[in-house]
Structure 1
Amino acid sequence: MTRTTGFKQFQATRKASALADLIADGNEPAATYAGVAPKAAVNSSFEFKTAQGREVLAYSLASSADYPNLFIDVLADDSYHLLAGSYERTVHREQDLESLELELYELGLHDYVNGDNKVSEPVAPGPVMSEDPEEQLKAANDAFNVDGEMVETYRSVAISTAHLTQEDEIFLEEQAHDAGCNRVTGRESGYFIKLSAHEAEDNLRHVISEEAKKILRWAVMADFHLIEFDNAASEVDGFPTFDWVIG
């Protein structure tokens, strides 16, 4: 896979080098991966301004007694266009698979399911399934017999995948296909990483590179809850980039 550069998905309103230097000196934020970093953690020697981001909606359709073998996660923008998603399913017989796919079709969710019979499979970005996705997702929630509000809103920022090492990208690709990981979602051009819970740090801090770890901390300091590593996104000044190709 080769990286490409294109239109800017966000415009940074400050240089990130000051924060990168701050972290490199060991003055890390007092609370990381908690959704909102305390303002006191920002060094008073420079003015901290956030990058412009976008709102991303997260839908979760959980398994239930009626559908014990299915779990769907969907990320969409505020116009309800599908950005990324994943599903998990476990079937033991061919007729179970056919029955499940028929039920999904009746729910209007068949576009979210593709690929062969795997435990976890990414869903390709594209348009949502109807003109009224909120009503359709609500109906799907009812059909799945799921209680409670199923929609969350994340403040997201896009950053170039050029800031990832080869090892980082290989690891994120594995996590995106791991049925037990709901913090990393894959898409054709990169990855989404949720930053809104403490376990995100616990899951990632021992395996990602120091360079990637600093970017995640930077995003949390800027009060983002979701980071998009994307091939077409802009690079951030102050953080190193890496040039490599997966054959």
Structure 2
Amino acid sequence: MTNETAEQRRFRIFRAQRREFVLADLVAEGNEPARSFQENGAPERVLGYYGDDELTGPHGFIGLDQEYWLILGNCEWTADNEDDLIALEKELFDWMCGEEYIELTE
């Protein structure tokens, strides 16, 4: 038995399900969140993150360029290493929970 909370478990799964994409491909497929991220100046390559429904495609993105890049609303974050990427992923995870792309259940 683990001492992992539902949130910790879901965050671990969230990170494990990330995939690298070419942003223009997602936009061409009609992914609306990708289009919005592209309009905010995102780089060509992105990490895509899924909510509870993987069939609808990724809903959250972190840009991949010389560094990792995240924008949510009026806030923007960057990271230049894998350890700092985890902090960006946590910001994105919390936002996706708030937007109900992810539901935390015991």
TM-score tier, shorter chain, comes to 0.3 to 0.5
Structure (1 or 2) with the larger CA radius of gyration: 1
Question: Which structure's residues are more often helix, by fraction?
Answer: 2
TM-score, normalised via structure 2 length? 0.33
TM-score, normalised via structure 1 length? 0.19
